[in-house]
Amino acid sequence: MSENPDPSADGASGTADPAVDAIVTRAGEATSLPTADHNGLYTSLMEQLQRELDADPAAGMAGGPANGTKGGAA
């Protein structure tokens, strides 16, 4: 039984977060790198995932906290 790391290959839609999906997809680059370079790639991917997952999801939406309000009455 083979494992398939690409969720879209099984008909799944990934994480439903395009930014996270793009980062996860980059993990596939490890197959073309020498083993010694895997740690650097994974470290970079983990840092990117941390930033993305810590980001305020409303920041990119009109009327969200990114427009200068704190979610309450202005």
Q: Render pLDDT for 12-41 as a digit per residue (tens, 0 to 9).
A: 568 888 999 999 999 999 999 999 999 999
pLDDT digit string, tens, across residues 48-73: 999 998 988 777 666 555 545 555 55
Give the C-alpha separation, 30 to 40, whole Å: 10
Residue 60 CB burial class (10 angstroms; 0-12, 13-18, ≥19): exposed
